[in-house]
Structure 1
Amino acid sequence: MALKGQEDYIYLFKDTTHPVDFLDAFRTFYLDGLFTDITLQCPSGIIFHCHRAVLAACSNYFKAMFTADMKEKFKNKIKISGIHHDILEGLVNYAYTSQIEITKRNVQSLLEAADLLQFLSVKKACEQFLVRHLDIDNCIGMHSFAEFHVCPELEKESRRILCSRFKEVWQQEEFLEISLEKFLFILSRKNLSVWKEEAVIEPVIKWTAHDVENRIECLYNLLSYINIDVDPVYLKTALGLQRSCLLTENKIRSLIYNALNPMHKEISQRSTATMYIIGGYYWHPLSEVHIWDPLTNVWIQGAEIPDYTRESYGVTCLGPNIYVTGGYRTDNIEALDTVWIYNSEGDEWTEGLPMLNARYYHCAVTLGGCVYALGGYRKGAPAEEAEFYDPLKEKWIPIANMIKGVGNATACVLHEVIYVIGGHCGYRGSCTYDKVQSYNSDINEWSLITSSPHPEYGLCSVPFENKLYLVGGQTTIAECYDPEQNEWREIAPMMERRMECGAVIMNGCIYVTGGYSYSKGTYLQSIEKYDPDLNKWEIVGNLPSAMRSHGCVCVYNV
């Protein structure tokens, strides 16, 4: 009997705990062997009693097997070949719990199994795990692995490292074992980060000499992918005459360079990286994103920073994503913990997870697939706290405190070590810190490694050719530090004094952008380029507007 006047009243009850309870119930059925209707057997003979409906819900492979007109549809036991029982057990447990443990030890086997059995969510999680752990020593193998198993993100990001850090990649042992096809693929990349033909010839020599008997025939083919002028008649004749001799690396090098035309061409300049200028300050906070191609000297504008009232944030780049961390609002100088992420491929911003500690004038760097935020100011005093963001776990994690809290310092990464140089220390940043602090993430430990000959704040540092370069600050002094030799040396002085400028490495040179000149009392708009081979600075362009305290990063094109 309907309630009077309530005929149209509807109450839709939704039990929010039902999905969890439902999954827990099936997990209990699985553990107790209740209502199971299919058995999976590994090559080792270990069996798992499961439910067809659960497997089909998680795996397109099993869904097709149990619904299509296949002989397995009517079987009670399915033999799964080529998958270790630990891996299969993990996938079965995932089907009943929605959780699976991925480690460096099992990730590749797990991805292969998830790919075969079409556990698509697990495959994607494994792919993201591998992207998180990409580096120069595994990017070649990961690129081949990604191609074989159709992992587009892993393929793209391994190719990004392979091309952008080619000089480091070809010096790894893994490089010597690549196939001719893979080597030709690398050489054919238009965005391969090389600036002189000699930089491409050397890996060709190294690879050929590693297995000279089987690879010497490939030499001319490889050289044809490099934009150099080789005398083919001389090279082929010389190779024929030397075939009976033991061709060493030095002999191969001599043959190639003797075959070069004396007036051989320089390699064509390639647009391997693009500079991104993020925000900044010019009498007020700037929110624009400017994108520059140094070869064409063309600027375009990207999507503006959503939070446009803050300044003095940290900026760093991880793959195609640019992280903007912390800062403060000009109206109250209150440190911020907020994070914004700019995707350079989609030209869009998303808000990230807040940091554990609010901070401004801090250092931000990328290491091991994570974003680090180091030191900075909070409540007017330099902070020692440091933390990193793991994009795979989607959380900020604290690390050991810095030896000395510094603000307006500079940081960069060289050989998997973070170096923090200079900055302000003491109460309200009353002193300039003269020490270089280094952080080893393997042991979560900070060390003091040296003192700077010219202590500075508001400067920039970049890693290049196994050394650290320090540019900008209150003077035109520019320096180079060799961590291996623990030696400092001055390089050619800059053309301008650039306090709180930006700096990046692109195309084998250091580009320094904007800044503030105390001597002139003006914001700077110009861009200086330093060529390490010539030890020379030159003005090569201008920013769209004068600015300081801006983010300056380069994103390698893939």
Structure 2
Amino acid sequence: MPQRLTKVRKDNERDVSLQDTIGLFQAKSVEGHVGQEPAEPGGNKAARHSPLVPLEHKCYADPDHCDAFFSALNSLRDEGLLLDCSLLLLGRPFGAHSLALASVSRVARGWLKSGQVTMGTHLPQPDVVGLDGKVTAVGLQAVLHFAYTGEARSGPEETGEVLEACGWLEVDRFTHCCMPVVVTDPLEVMKKAPSARCEREKNLRVIRELWEKGIGCDVKLQADGVSFQAHRVALAACGDFFRAMFLSGMKEAFQREVHMPTMPPTALSSLLGFIYSGSLLLSWDNVFEVTEAALRYQVLGALSLCQDFLVAEMDPDSCLDVLALAEAYGLGELAKKAEEFILSHFERVAARPKFLDLPAAQLAHLLAKDSLYVSSEVEVFRVVVAWLEEEWGARLPFLAELLKQVRFPLMAPRELQEVEVTAQILIQAPGCREILEGIRSARQPREISSCQPRTPNQVLVLVGGDHVKDDFSRRVPSAAVQFAHRFLAGMGLIRKVEWRALSHMPTPARFRHAMCVLNNQLYIFGGRKYYGQRDILKSVLRYDPAHDTWEELADMQQQRNNFAVVCLEGVMYAIGGNLDDTEYLDSVECYTHEDNTWRFTQPLPSALCGHAAAVYDGEIYISGGCDGQNHCLGSMWHYHPVLGCTPRAPMRGERAGHVMEVVCSHLYVAGGLYPLAGGFGDQLACESYDPASDSWGPVASLPMPHLSPASAVLNGHIYVLGGSSCQTCQDSHLVHCYDPQSDCWANVGMMQRAYADIAACVLLVPGHLRQ
């Protein structure tokens, strides 16, 4: 066995393996749980009062539980199910659940205490209570409606009969609701008006008190020799399993004691507590067993709270257990959240010993994800080696498949050197020799790889632009290449972007240029180096952030600035622009990196400058801009390199000097200027285009002008940076972010200075720059 490359872990320091987690839900002492039967000689443990809650427990409550509970009770009553009380009035029976009636009536509670109503659903008929001469049908129906819904329903002509029924049945809360309120202020009347929801909550609290005291309980649930009393109708109202048990004719429907196999007493106690209150006390000590119990017995409200806890309290120590639980029981949304957490905190999770118990297939699945976050791709390789060393002989056959998920071309040269040294001892594994050759080729800076950067590791990068000197003497082109390391939120509305230097463009500095990214390589095209007619460029640069190297590529065939570049299937298209500030271009030329050459493709229908272009679903779209007569356009074109342009639905307004970005299935345009009588104004209105329906729709407007800004999409949000205002002629240092989900723009901070005619993209930068 080769020399170990990671720290040796003692066996007795190992956590329980992932595979063991599901089967080893922790069982705790059942002492002190509400609803548990008193101790019997030689038998069950006793509990008279609720225990003190451990500090690590947190209370999770379902705000809709009470409504769902009484809605289910009402449905059972409407269907005539589990009715244990028949209120007989002039020969007409009114079926009810004595538990529901007892939640509002002191008399009904007395029936339960005395045994006059036994709540015995095992009996052939419900218990009968005669009410002739005591109440009327109108009054009784109003009381029952109040018990099941919390609604104090009575008209003026019915008040007397309702008060009579409330008085005989001692329904004090309803009586209070029916008493006239002598208040002249309408707001005070509203304050004193009873809330049905509030009354239902009071009803449930009474039912819980009855359960805690064992009043009216008609079933004992046995779990591992421990008995818990309960009401059948309450169980049936909250769980599909219990409803089926008591209504399907199974033997349990007629038994006083029901055995709950595989149910830990602590889990059953928690479920009963939830049924009677809508809340759960959860901690990592009990959440797994409660989740399993809620699933097994289909108490969906409790299951939802358990999942809320698992998501909210998830950390690097628990996320793998949560994922195992979710996958074992088919909880898709929970599994998704757990996987997202693992991917977002990958290095911390991978440092836990239980991570080394992951099956090879699951590890490969995680490593293949674009959303995996690591400070550097070399960390992924180190994780693979650590996993391999845990069981060298058994895991060696899986090594090649795992190494295929490591994106070696994204590593810096010194990281690749480390990998190459380590890989010498891995070459004995099947299929690894070819991978080692790939590592060697990745060390060549000129090698173009099709390696996709991992999305969450990418950052917003700014390149070039021009700005006013600190002494305001003149404008200066910039050669800076910088990235947004962090977006910070301060007190109140204060937002800040932490910018860091990435590199420096070779001479000359440039602005009004275009950029695109292919395989994490940054391509910079044209622009201008200064402000004269002969300062417009046709040169092209390529920057490799992994190696921090710059390379000059073949020149475009024409000088261009104020133009657009897009990348489609590895080919880059330079579209329109202007040649010398007076001559606008209709030409389009494309670049292929394999042979480092440019060639012309189909031209535009007319010359175009200051437009925007983007690629969606393998198609090129071009919006707005100015034509050769300096007219601002609202056009939208679909461009094909061979067939040329096809018009699509025009924008709702004209614009030029704007940006266009793709998020999900829509294209968004923002910023720029629009024509006014005798000039131009700042275009704040924004729009989105749906290619499927060929239609435009308005979205939230920009809060501030951005003419010729930079833009990029990061984590599903559109960032618009800098530019200027055509009305004030002032440059902007602001960074605005648009969230398509909320249709809202937010000011997230500023650039280091006010840049105009700048360009932005998204790149994966070396890990050491982000530490």
- Number of residue-to-residue matches in the alignment: 317
1:472 aligns with 2:671: yes
AA paired with 2:575?
Answer: L
> Which of 286, 303, 323 is residue 523 of structure 2 equivalent to?
323
Q: Aligned equivalents of 1:362 and 1:344: distance in 2? A: 25
Contact 2:671-2:706 within 8 A present in 1 as well: yes
Secondary structure at 2:308's aligned position in 1?
Answer: coil
**Larger gyration radius, structure 1 or structure 2:** 2
Q: How does 1:27-42 map to 2 (within 5 A)?
A: none
Find the counterpart in structure 1 of residue 45 from structure 2.
none
Question: 1:122-164 CA deviation, whole Å, 9 max, x = no partner?
Answer: xxxxxxxxxxxxxxxxxxxxxxxxxxxxxxxxxxxxxxxxxxx
1:448 aligns with 2:647: yes
Aligned-pair distance for 1:556?
4.1
Q: 1:255 to 1:408 in 2, by over 3 A?
A: farther
> Which of 267, 274, 298 is residue 498 of structure 2 equivalent to?
298
Q: Aligned equivalents of 1:318 and 1:495: distance in 2? A: 32
Q: How does 1:358-437 map to 2 (within 5 A)?
A: 358-379=559-580, 380-427=582-629, 430-437=630-637
1:550 aligns with 2:597: no
Secondary structure at 2:506's aligned position in 1?
Answer: coil
Aligned-pair distance for 1:259?
6.0
Find the counterpart in structure 1 of residue 219 from structure 2.
none
Contact 1:318-1:370 within 8 A present in 2 as well: no
Contact 1:403-1:447 within 8 A present in 2 as well: no
Contact 1:303-1:349 within 8 A present in 2 as well: no
Q: 1:233 to 1:491 in 2, by over 3 A?
A: farther
AA paired with 2:627?
Answer: C
Contact 1:476-1:494 within 8 A present in 2 as well: yes
AA paired with 1:365?
Answer: V
Q: Aligned equivalents of 1:435 and 1:467: distance in 2? A: 17
Contact 1:318-1:371 within 8 A present in 2 as well: no
Secondary structure at 1:522's aligned position in 2?
Answer: coil
Question: 1:514-540 CA deviation, whole Å, 9 max, x = no partner?
Answer: 110233331111111112222211111
Question: 1:484-508 CA deviation, whole Å, 9 max, x = no partner?
Answer: 1122111111111110011111122
Secondary structure at 1:261's aligned position in 2?
Answer: helix
Find the counterpart in structure 2 of residue 512 from structure 1.
720
Question: 1:420-440 CA deviation, whole Å, 9 max, x = no partner?
Answer: 11111024xx11122111123
Contact 2:660-2:670 within 8 A present in 1 as well: yes
Secondary structure at 2:636's aligned position in 1?
Answer: strand
Find the counterpart in structure 2 of residue 459 from structure 1.
658
Q: Aligned equivalents of 1:458 and 1:310: distance in 2? A: 17
Q: How does 1:40-439 map to 2 (within 5 A)?
A: 232-233=288-289, 236=292, 260-261=307-308, 264-265=311-312, 271-282=456-467, 283-295=475-487, 297-334=497-534, 335-379=536-580, 380-427=582-629, 430-439=630-639
Q: Aligned equivalents of 2:640 and 2:731: distance in 1? A: 36
> Which of 493, 501, 506 is residue 701 of structure 2 equivalent to?
493
Q: Aligned equivalents of 2:558 and 2:304: distance in 1? A: 56
Aligned-pair distance for 1:309?
4.7
Aligned-pair distance for 1:462?
0.4
CA RMSD of aligned residues (A): 2.9
Q: Aligned equivalents of 1:455 and 1:417: distance in 2? A: 22
Question: 1:427-459 CA deviation, whole Å, 9 max, x = no partner?
Answer: 4xx111221111235x54321112111111110
Q: 1:232 to 1:471 in 2, by over 3 A?
A: farther
Aligned-pair distance for 1:256?
9.2
Q: Aligned equivalents of 1:422 and 1:448: distance in 2? A: 12
Q: Aligned equivalents of 1:480 and 1:420: distance in 2? A: 13
The percentage of counterpart residues that share the same residue type is: 21
Question: 1:225-263 CA deviation, whole Å, 9 max, x = no partner?
Answer: xxxx99644665677789xxxxxxxxxx99997862168
Q: Aligned equivalents of 2:605 and 2:514: distance in 1? A: 20
Aligned-pair distance for 1:480?
0.9
Question: 1:57-81 CA deviation, whole Å, 9 max, x = no partner?
Answer: xxxxxxxxxxxxxxxxxxxxxxxxx
AA paired with 2:714?
Answer: M
Aligned-pair distance for 1:330?
2.3
AA paired with 1:325?
Answer: F
Q: Aligned equivalents of 1:550 and 1:237: distance in 2? A: 58
Q: Aligned equivalents of 2:304 and 2:568: distance in 1? A: 38
AA paired with 2:655?
Answer: E
Find the counterpart in structure 2 of residue 484 from structure 1.
692
What TM-score does the superposition give when structure 2 sets the normalisation length?
Answer: 0.39
AA paired with 2:717?
Answer: C
What TM-score does the superposition give when structure 1 sets the normalisation length?
Answer: 0.52
Contact 1:290-1:544 within 8 A present in 2 as well: no
Q: 1:356 to 1:239 in 2, by over 3 A?
A: farther
Q: 1:418 to 1:241 in 2, by over 3 A?
A: farther
AA paired with 1:502?
Answer: A
Structure 1, unaligned runs of 5 or more? 1-228, 243-252
Aligned-pair distance for 1:370?
2.1
Contact 1:501-1:550 within 8 A present in 2 as well: yes
Question: 1:170-208 CA deviation, whole Å, 9 max, x = no partner?
Answer: xxxxxxxxxxxxxxxxxxxxxxxxxxxxxxxxxxxxxxx
Structure 2, unaligned runs of 5 or more? 1-283, 313-336, 345-372, 374-455, 468-474, 489-496, 673-681, 767-771
Q: Aligned equivalents of 2:307 and 2:510: distance in 1? A: 55
AA paired with 2:610?
Answer: N
Q: 1:254 to 1:281 in 2, by over 3 A?
A: farther
Question: 1:376-410 CA deviation, whole Å, 9 max, x = no partner?
Answer: 11232221111111112221132111122211111
Q: Aligned equivalents of 1:237 and 1:410: distance in 2? A: 57
More strand by share: 1
AA paired with 1:386?
Answer: V
Contact 2:295-2:303 within 8 A present in 1 as well: no
Contact 1:470-1:480 within 8 A present in 2 as well: yes
AA paired with 1:407?
Answer: C
Contact 2:649-2:696 within 8 A present in 1 as well: no
Q: Aligned equivalents of 1:417 and 1:307: distance in 2? A: 34
Q: Aligned equivalents of 2:559 and 2:702: distance in 1? A: 34
AA paired with 2:583?
Answer: A
Q: 1:238 to 1:392 in 2, by over 3 A?
A: farther
Q: Aligned equivalents of 1:390 and 1:276: distance in 2? A: 24
Q: 1:535 to 1:326 in 2, by over 3 A?
A: same
Contact 2:465-2:477 within 8 A present in 1 as well: yes
Q: Aligned equivalents of 1:512 and 1:328: distance in 2? A: 21
Q: 1:432 to 1:483 in 2, by over 3 A?
A: same
AA paired with 1:275?
Answer: L
Find the counterpart in structure 2 of residue 14 from structure 1.
none
Q: Aligned equivalents of 2:303 and 2:719: distance in 1? A: 33
Aligned-pair distance for 1:284?
2.4
Contact 1:400-1:444 within 8 A present in 2 as well: yes
